[in-house]
Structure 1
Amino acid sequence: AVMVSLAAVWEDWGVRPSAVIGHSQGEIAAACVAGALSLEDAARVVALRSRAIVALAGKGGMVSVPLPVEQVREELAGYEGRVSVAAVNGPASVVVSGDVQGLDELLARWTEAGVRARRIAVDYASHSAHVEELHAELLDVLAPIEPQAGRIPVYSTVTGEVEDGS
């Protein structure tokens, strides 16, 4: 709501984006601002996604790691299927996500090595294989939503490519 509202205020002031990009729930806001999703459909996606994620509560977590993604990926060897890179936020800012035990082990290793990794205050493993268990439910509840080509190009955070929103 805040992201879409800010974009509307900026547009009212004459500031119009030539493209949009968003991360996680911000992708929904970006699609709305681009015109690929109506405000009603964007709100529906946020609400239904949030409701579905409740099923993941208590099963995982996330950790912010101030290291380059290449180094983090090397350190995740042996954790396949348990912990994975969830987000690359900068050259030395990575978030990993996954099983609680795997995250605890990695956090202890990084802390011992002097890396200031920190747990993020969530009890589910967003942006990980854990979310796959919601796939069928989300396809079902979001089936009535029909994205369309937007008036503004949308950069995909998955591919890095420009999408039309449809």
Structure 2
Amino acid sequence: MPTTTGHTEHAGNGAAPADAAARPRPVALLLPGQGAQHVRMAAGLYPHEPVFSAAMDEVFTAMGKDGTLLRADWVAERPTVPIDDVTRSQPLLFAVDYALGRLVAGWGIRPAALLGHSIGELAAAALAGVFDLPDAAAIVLDRVRRLRHAPPGGMLAVAAGPDELGPHLAGDVVVGAVNAPRQTVLAGPTPALADVAAVLAERGFTCRPVPSLVAFHSPAVAAATAGAERLFASVRVRPPDIPVYSGYTTAPLRAAQIADPGFWARQPVAPVLFWPALDALLSSGAFLLVEAGPGQGLTQVARRHPAVRTGRSAVLPLLPARPGPSRADRESAAAALAALRAEGHRPAGR
């Protein structure tokens, strides 16, 4: 849910290349979550990018009958189920994030680290080999089926820090995500969130709804997700092939966390601490951050980080900032590939 408030949007893919002596900076993938979804997200790459297309088909196949319906709605101009419905947003975000990660790997570029936001962390875990894809797909569908029974809720991006917002929260509304020092996402049941939004607007805060019909990352979904650890306990997990920085622990995943079914099962309830996790990643070295998901919400957040502002690290989106014609997806991916070359990477077969 990288929805932004109160800032100027940067357009285009133009990551500044590293100095010759330092290039190429290793790539770290940023994988977005709820709020980034839109109709036909990344569908312009299908079937023009074979690696991406094969990965999407793998996910849909792994999801069985649900995957057939998901694919039909994904490529449709007018889906039968709205994209913001949890049964569409979550599995399709997972699929697109995962397939874009595979696309980058298909270019011959092995990421040095992965950082996912919300459902993006499951995509990161699948890309890193923590879960086999069929198990990851089953986990996503199980989460979706549970969240369908969550009470009506939503999320609200506010241009303020969590400490500023604390005194104004009421009615089970909580901080659901910390995306940047003055970019906080609140989550809670629909009536209470509307009341808090009205109070914040009256008191001069800049707010923007996050596209979501569920109060992700709040106690409002706790009852619906109860028992999810049983599925996690039944699947095989492995150490990651690539370090996965967790938006829940703000550090690389450790063996004990990977093996803990409760850690994964609690993620829809726990707050996402994206900025502290990003800070930990960028404190470990210089990176070319590549946003592998729809939109450029995480790109806009990362551009605020001092390591990016000073040019030590840079950020590069794979897809356009907003929905557009199918060719825009292909043009954006091609521009990202050119920027990777300018950085000093040598994509395979390109």
What's the counterpart of residue 105 of structure 2? 11
What's the counterpart of residue 97 of structure 1? 187
What's the counterpart of residue 83 of structure 1? 173
- 1:159 CA displacement: 1.4
| Pair 1:40 & 2:134 matched | yes
Superposed CA offset, 1:51-96 (max 9, x none) = 11000142x22111111222123432xx2x7111000111221111
Larger Rg: 2
What's the counterpart of residue 54 of structure 1? 148
Over the residues paired in the alignment, what is the CA RMSD in angstroms? 1.8
Aligned residues of 1:57 and 1:123 also touching (Cα < 8 A): no
What's the counterpart of residue 125 of structure 2? 31
Equivalent residue letter for 2:156: V
The structure-2 alpha-carbon separation of the partners of 1:134 and 1:57, relative to structure 1 and needing over 3 Å to count, comes to closer
Tell me the TM-score normalized by structure 2.
0.44
Q: Distance in 1 between matches of 2:109 and 2:232?
A: 31
**Higher relative contact order (Cα pairs below 8 Å, separated by 6+ residues):** 1
The structure-2 alpha-carbon separation of the partners of 1:134 and 1:141, relative to structure 1 and needing over 3 Å to count, comes to farther
Aligned residues of 2:126 and 2:133 also touching (Cα < 8 A): yes
What's the counterpart of residue 159 of structure 2? 66
Secondary structure of the structure 2 residue equivalent to 1:130: helix
- 1:110 CA displacement: 1.4
Q: Distance in 2 between matches of 1:99 and 1:37?
A: 32
Q: Distance in 1 between matches of 2:207 and 2:198?
A: 9
What's the counterpart of residue 227 of structure 2? 137
Superposed CA offset, 1:24-55 (max 9, x none) = 11010000111101111111111111111000
Q: Distance in 2 between matches of 1:161 and 1:130?
A: 26
Q: Alignment length, in residue pairs?
A: 162
What's the counterpart of residue 113 of structure 1? 203
Equivalent residue letter for 2:180: G
- 1:123 CA displacement: 2.9
Equivalent residue letter for 1:51: R
- 1:157 CA displacement: 0.9
Tell me the TM-score normalized by structure 1.
0.87
Deviates more, 1:120-129 or 1:47-56: 120-129
Q: Distance in 1 between matches of 2:205 and 2:198?
A: 10
Q: Distance in 2 between matches of 1:140 and 1:24?
A: 20
Aligned residues of 2:113 and 2:245 also touching (Cα < 8 A): yes
Q: Distance in 2 between matches of 1:121 and 1:160?
A: 25
| Pair 1:158 & 2:158 matched | no
Equivalent residue letter for 1:13: W
Q: Distance in 1 between matches of 2:185 and 2:164?
A: 12
Q: Which runs of 4+ in 1 moved over 4 A?
A: none
Which ranges in structure 2 are unaligned for 5 or more consecutive residues?
1-94, 260-350
| Pair 1:147 & 2:237 matched | yes
